Copies of this chain bind each other. A is one copy, B any other.
Amino acid sequence: MAEFTLHEDPRSGNCYKIKLTAALLGLPLGVQQYDIMKGETRTPEFLAKVNGNGRIPVLQIADGDTARFLPESNAACWYLASGSPLIPQDRFAQADMLRWMFFEQYNHEPNVATLRFWLHFVGEANLSEQQKAQMMAKRIAGCEALKLMDRHLEAHDWFVGEGATLADIALYAYTHVAEEGGFGLADYPAIQRWIARVAGLPGYAPMA
């Protein structure tokens, strides 16, 4: 039986995705915490052993004497959920779930999560001029991502198929705290109903 340890910063929605996946599956998950604001994931030891990309989350998988490290939140969720109902088996549904997970990393996270990090944790007064210059573009792109999600959820309870999948977990992580980045969820009623559905899943665990 493999043992799982999550290298994480509890403020990160990307880390929370993995914890929520493990919670919904009833899998025990150890944690090792880092403070990304203090550069703790850029130390030579972290870069050499855990992730050369200097980022968390990383899922550590211990199997007997072997320890393997898996960066990228959505890949770690995939590993944990392998063979479970959180990954549909149908060929199109499986690809469509990955479609929403790639959308999350490309169109959602760099806007919705980055503005939350800048405004809620760094503080607007501490942003560089270059960061301030990007805020409006990220606000617009983040709203577009939320609008696309809301339109989809007007007609569907879940992103793919008839139940929760990793697509819902991946998109839930930063969406349910989007107001910390200044995105008012009142404009997205279908998203609000979906957030309540995710929070009502058996085994659901809230973000720290």
Contact of A75 among B71, B72, B98 (CB under 8 A): B98
Contact across chains for B70 and A99 when beta carbons are under 8 A apart:
yes
A95 partner residues in chain B, CB cutoff 8 A: 70, 75-76, 78-79, 82
Contact across chains for A99 and B72 when beta carbons are under 8 A apart:
yes
A168 within 8 Å of B (CB atoms):
no
Contact across chains for B72 and A94 when beta carbons are under 8 A apart:
no
A91 partner residues in chain B, CB cutoff 8 A: 79, 82
Q: How far is the CB of A51 from chain B (nearest CB, A)?
A: 10
A134 partner residues in chain B, CB cutoff 8 A: 130, 133-134
The A interface, classified by DSSP as helix, strand, loop or mixed, is helix
Minimal Cβ-Cβ distance residue in B for A75 = B99
A105 within 8 Å of B (CB atoms):
yes
Contact across chains for A103 and B53 when beta carbons are under 8 A apart:
yes
A188 within 8 Å of B (CB atoms):
no
A96 within 8 Å of B (CB atoms):
yes
In the bound complex, what is the Cα–Cα distance between A79 and B103 (angstroms)? 16
A61 within 8 Å of B (CB atoms):
yes
With known contacts A70-B99, A105-B102, A78–B94 Cβ distance under 8 A: yes
In the bound complex, what is the Cα–Cα distance between A133 and B132 (angstroms)? 11
Interface string of A31-71 (1 = CB under 8 A from B): 00000000000000000000011000000010000001011
A133 partner residues in chain B, CB cutoff 8 A: 130, 133-134
In the bound complex, what is the Cα–Cα distance between A191 and B31 (angstroms)? 34
Q: Which of A53, A73, A75, A137 has the most CB of B within 10 A?
A: A75
Taking CB atoms and an 8 Å cut-off, the chain A residues in 85-108 that contact chain B are: 91-92, 94-96, 98-99, 101-103, 105-107
In the bound complex, what is the Cα–Cα distance between A95 and B106 (angstroms)? 18
Q: How far is the CB of A74 from chain B (nearest CB, A)?
A: 5
Question: What are 14 A-B pairs with beta-carbon distances under 8 A?
Answer: A52-B151, A52-B152, A53-B103, A70-B96, A71-B99, A72-B98, A73-B102, A74-B102, A75-B102, A78-B95, A82-B95, A102-B102, A106-B106, A106-B110
